Structure 1
Amino acid sequence: MPEVRQLAVTVDRWWPEIEAFIDTGHSNAKSEGINRVIKLVARNAFGFRNADDQRLRTQCVTTRRARGHLRTAQL
């Protein structure tokens, strides 16, 4: 089956990264998630001309508090 063959090729190609995750338990998922949010904010702000506001908006969106990790009562 071509799908199984393609899966085997993909796993073989990514095996060093898969093995590193299995050995260490660490991945780059958090940084990839933050990069996705930054790109989404940039797309939403397309057409705005103030680069400083864009930077501040990105910084606000990617902070832990904005993502719901902290409650106001904890501050």
Structure 2
Amino acid sequence: MKTILLTMAGAMAAALSLAAMAGPDWSVIEKARGAKQAQAQKATPHQPMTMEDHAAMIKACREMMAQPK
């Protein structure tokens, strides 16, 4: 009787744990990825860096590097 109960309990535990070992839900991942891409397309497009922007960035970088630690 004890072995039957242990066998049944083990079988139920194995059956219930299959959902945890099933892996990722790819449909949800793909849906979220599509939503993120759509959101990125609606955002303002990235403007290429101009020479003035680059010069300002280099100037700010040099000022930060010149500061004592």
TM-score (norm 1): 0.29
Return the index of the structure with the highest Cα Rg: 2
TM-score (norm 2): 0.31
